[in-house]
Each structure stands twice: as C-alpha cells, then as structure tokens.
Amino acid sequence: MNRFFLPKLLYRNYEFERDRYIEVNSEGRIEKIGRTRELGSTELNSAEILEGIVLPGFVNSHSHAFQVLLRGMGDHPKNFHDWVKSSLYPLVRSLKTEDIVTATKVAYAQMLMRGITSVGEFHYLHNLHPEENPEIENNDPISIAVIEAAREVGIRQRFLYTGYDLGNKPGQERFHRKAFEVIESLNYLRKKYRDDPLIEIGAAPHSLHGASEEMIRSMMEWAEQNSEVCHIHLSEQKSDVEESISQFGMRPVEYLEDRGLLSSMMAIVHGIWLENSEINTLLTHGVKHVYNPMTNMHLGDGIAPIRQYVARGVVTALGTDANMDPDLVMEMRATEYLQRIEGLEMGIIGAVTDDASPAMTLYKMATVNGGIALNLKVGVLDEGYYADFIVIDPDHLNFGGGIDKYFLENLTLSTTISTVLKSVYVGGEQVFNREDGITKIDTSELLKKLNEIVKSV
Ligand SMILES: [Zn+2]
C-alpha cells in the first residue's frame, strides 16, 4: 500500500514548495509529488506530517567503513605512506569479520545521523583473519557481512566490490583476489541481492598500484556489460603520478586511456594530481569524479583542481573516504574553502558555473551528482527516485540563517547538520529521529562492542 507524507516545506529544484504531498510506493520510490488539495480524506488522514524542511538525503559516493577504527590510532604518521604502514595495514591484519561488522555499523549509524542516506562502500578486505574458520558456504563472507550491516542499519548501499591483485606488503594478503575470482564474486553478489531495493553491486579495481591491467579491464568490462558502475582510486598522492610515469611512461589518466580502460560507467576517486589535459580526457569519455577533501586533508594528499573539473562540466561527487567524521556538509565546506585558501579568493567554485548560486554547485556534488556517480536513483526528490529524504529544523541557532535566497549558503557553509537534523528516511522508512536516534539498531550495544575492539587492537 502506498504511503503519504506531508512536508511542511519541501526543497526541490532549488526552490521551496508548500502544500505538497509525497506518495511513496511499496518499493520505497516516489510515485508522485502533488498538491495537498488533490488528496482524498483517507490519504490525508493516513499521511505522516514532516515538521521542517524536507530535502533529499545526502549521497556519500566513497567510503571505507572499517576505517572508523583508525580514529585516534597512530595519530602522527609522517605522511600517507607512513600512515598505511604504521596504522592502516596493522589494523587490517588484526580485524575479524565481527570487528568489521561493528565498525561498519558505527560508520553507517553516524552517516544517518548526519543526513547521509546512501553510501558507495569501496570494500577491499576479502580474506578472513587466520584464526577464523575457513569452512564457509561462499567466497565472500566479509562482503556479505558488510552488506548485511547496511541492511540492518537501514542505509542504501552501492557495494563496490574491490579487485586487488598486486603488492606483497604485510596486510595486503587480506585484499588479494584474482581477476576471474572477482568477476565470480561480482556475479554472485549481484544475483544474491537482485531483489533487494536497498543494495546494488558495483566494481572497483583498487588503483594502479593495487590492480593489474587484467584486473582493471575485466572489471571495467563487467561494469559495461551489466550497466553497473566501476570506481578506481586515481592520483591521490603525488607519488601515484610519479610511479605511473616510471612504470608506464604516462600519467595515470593517459595510461587508462591508452589501454582503452575509460568508460562512462567509471568514476575516478580523488583525482587530485591531474593536469587539465587529463580532465579533458575524463570529460571526453564521460568519466565521473569523486572527491574526498576531509580525508585528503587528513592524509596530506593535496587539493584537487576542482575549478577545472567544474568549469569543464565533469560530474564531481563527494565522499567521506576514511570516515574520520562522515559528514557531507563538512565535505562541501572543505571543497570550497580549500579552493579559497589555494586561490586566495572567495566564492571560487560557483564562479565558474552557470549555477544560480555558488553554493548550489557544492550542494549538487553532495546530492544529485552522487546519484550519478553511484548510478542510483537518489539525490533528487522526484517521481521514480527513491524516497530518501531528511527533515531539518530551520528554527535552530545552528541552522545559520533563515529560509531565504541564501538557504544553500547557510546549509553548506554555516550549518552543523547533526544538530538541526530532525529525522531521516530511506525508501520512505524512518531510520533516524532526534528523540530516539537510530531506529533500527541498538546503538548502546554497538558502542560497547566498539569499545571492546578499540581496547584490543
Ligand atoms: Zn578510498
């Protein structure tokens, strides 16, 4: 049976609409948005009133959920490579499936508490801890556990199964799979979750240093054949470019193009150290871009040439990557502020677009562009899209301003989203509200488990 919602204020197509209803079908999609006066009395009486501003939920296009366990650990590595060696890989070696599940639920609960309703989970931890029982029914118990964690918490997930077949550093043995095994797993998972509207499966060759040409090619072809997305880490560190030049004689995007490995189903993640010619190449092939500025700052990666991406019309979406604090409002803010610091100017990103407001460009990155990068019907409140929406309280000191023409500026640059968020819905189902918190799981139990893991690793 269809359900009805009555938003006090609906923010849609960058404008406020009053006296509207949202009709949601059994699949959790928006069947219709219409005028309240068109509703019959039965629908009106059964409708749920949403007291506040209703917006599409934010779309997190890149996450490694288990990395929440790195918080506070190895606080002061010298650089990215030292962080990988001294923090990331030792953690990876110690984790059992149950720990990964707890970490994933923590990350996803926090995302919902910040209005993130869908996530692209770039998952590369495939092989079990040596002490875990290898008698298992399928090849991918960890992947399945991470997907089930998303279902339990109630967040929409594009599970990006990662292919990683290079490297022999301690820790990397937990990532390794051969290309044919990866394709088998992709097919298995895609079939297993075919009827679940909350879960979609995508491909993710890890990076040029983690995935062979054979791996990237087979995953890209799988994505093309199945009309699914294919994400790859690219040019995060300056050294990624240097390595590509010394190994292939070309910069990373040039290498992918030269080998015929670019497609419109692809998104590059990070894309920090790109030359303008490489950004043009991405545009030519319809490749999308996912930017994670908070993590890039945390790891000292660098600042992506966002103005060049935006000016050329490459679709840039945002992600929370290492999930130190998974908050897309902060990612929007960091995207703009890093450009200001680098360029010693203000209002930089919006100035190179036709968008009506500078903040609109940032807002698109966290909503509609995320839907494009993940190939999900999310980030927009319209017929056919999922009913993934958030309700925020404009009558709050932390909202940062009124409901006026500067709404998006207030939202992107001034608001503390976690304090103004009243409720969150995924597929029309409430998964968070301010009074009860996360509705589908017991977060106090989760906290106990988290504390036990943090003590033991
Ligand atoms: Zn990443």
* CB contact set of 16 (below 8 Å; sequence gap of 6+): 9, 10, 53, 403, 407
pLDDT given at position 401? 67
pLDDT given at position 49? 97
The DSSP 8-state label assigned to residue 397 in this structure reads: G
Over residues 145-164, mean pLDDT: 98
The Cα–Cα gap between 80 and 237 comes to 8
pLDDT given at position 78? 85
Over residues 248-262, mean pLDDT: 98
pLDDT given at position 369? 98
pLDDT given at position 348? 77
Over residues 108-126, mean pLDDT: 98
pLDDT given at position 20? 98
| Distance from the alpha carbon of residue 321 to the mean position of ligand 1, in angstroms | 5
| Distance from the alpha carbon of residue 438 to the mean position of ligand 1, in angstroms | 26
| Distance from the alpha carbon of residue 232 to the mean position of ligand 1, in angstroms | 9
The Cα–Cα gap between 453 and 443 comes to 15
| Distance from the alpha carbon of residue 233 to the mean position of ligand 1, in angstroms | 6
| Residue 86 pLDDT class (50, 70, 90 cuts) | confident
pLDDT given at position 134? 67
Strand partners, 425: 389, 430
Domain 3-56+381-438, classified CATH 2.30.40.10, yes or no? yes
Distances (CA, A) of 140 to 97, 131, 182, 201: 11, 16, 10, 13
| Distance from the alpha carbon of residue 192 to the mean position of ligand 1, in angstroms | 25
- Taking alpha carbons only, the member of 267, 224, 270 closest to residue 370 is 267
Q: Are 124 and 175 in contact (CB under 8 A)?
A: yes
Task: Tell me the angle at which helices 328-343 and 358-366 cross, rounded to the nearest 10 degrees.
Answer: 140
pLDDT given at position 356? 79
Compare 213 and 71 and report the one with higher pLDDT: 213
- Considering Cα of 27, then 288, then 336, then 119, what sign does the dihedral take? positive
The Cα–Cα gap between 166 and 177 comes to 9
Q: Are 155 and 108 in contact (CB under 8 A)?
A: yes
Q: Are 297 and 338 in contact (CB under 8 A)?
A: yes
pLDDT 10s digits, 308-319 = 999 999 999 999
Indicate whether 177 pLDDT > 90: yes
Strand partners, 316: 289
- Taking alpha carbons only, the member of 353, 349, 432, 351 closest to residue 388 is 432
- Taking alpha carbons only, the member of 181, 232, 224, 228 closest to residue 205 is 232
Inter-residue long-range contacts of 240-244, CB under 8 Å, 24+ positions, other chains counted: 240/207, 240/208, 240/209, 240/273, 241/273, 243/208, 243/209, 244/208
Indicate whether 146 pLDDT > 70: yes
How much of the chain, in percent, has pLDDT values that exceed 70?
98
pLDDT given at position 135? 67
Q: In a 3-state reduction of DSSP, which class is residue 8? A: strand
pLDDT given at position 397? 85
| Residue 376 pLDDT class (50, 70, 90 cuts) | very high
| Distance from the alpha carbon of residue 17 to the mean position of ligand 1, in angstroms | 37
pLDDT 10s digits, 9-51 = 999 999 999 999 999 999 999 999 999 999 999 999 999 999 9
pLDDT given at position 77? 85
The pTM is what?
0.97
| Distance from the alpha carbon of residue 114 to the mean position of ligand 1, in angstroms | 20
CA 427 to chain centre: 17
Report the chain's mean pLDDT, rounded to a whole number. Answer: 94
| Distance from the alpha carbon of residue 71 to the mean position of ligand 1, in angstroms | 16
A 10 A CB-CB count for 92 gives: 23
The DSSP 8-state label assigned to residue 163 in this structure reads: E
* CB contact set of 50 (below 8 Å; sequence gap of 6+): 5, 6, 7, 8, 391, 423
- Taking alpha carbons only, the member of 344, 267, 281, 332 closest to residue 306 is 332
| Distance from the alpha carbon of residue 210 to the mean position of ligand 1, in angstroms | 12
| Distance from the alpha carbon of residue 388 to the mean position of ligand 1, in angstroms | 24
| Distance from the alpha carbon of residue 144 to the mean position of ligand 1, in angstroms | 20
Indicate whether 206 pLDDT > 90: yes
Q: What is the largest CA-CA distance in the chain?
A: 70
Token digits of residue 419: 């304090």
| Distance from the alpha carbon of residue 292 to the mean position of ligand 1, in angstroms | 8
The Cα–Cα gap between 61 and 316 comes to 10
| Distance from the alpha carbon of residue 63 to the mean position of ligand 1, in angstroms | 6
| Distance from the alpha carbon of residue 256 to the mean position of ligand 1, in angstroms | 19
| Distance from the alpha carbon of residue 121 to the mean position of ligand 1, in angstroms | 9
What does the chain come to in residues? 457
Over residues 91-99, mean pLDDT: 92
Least confident stretch, 67-81, 107-121, 316-330? 67-81
pLDDT 10s digits, 391-436 = 999 888 888 666 777 899 999 998 999 999 999 999 999 999 999 9
| Distance from the alpha carbon of residue 302 to the mean position of ligand 1, in angstroms | 14
pLDDT given at position 139? 82
Token digits of residue 356: 């009506």
| Distance from the alpha carbon of residue 250 to the mean position of ligand 1, in angstroms | 23
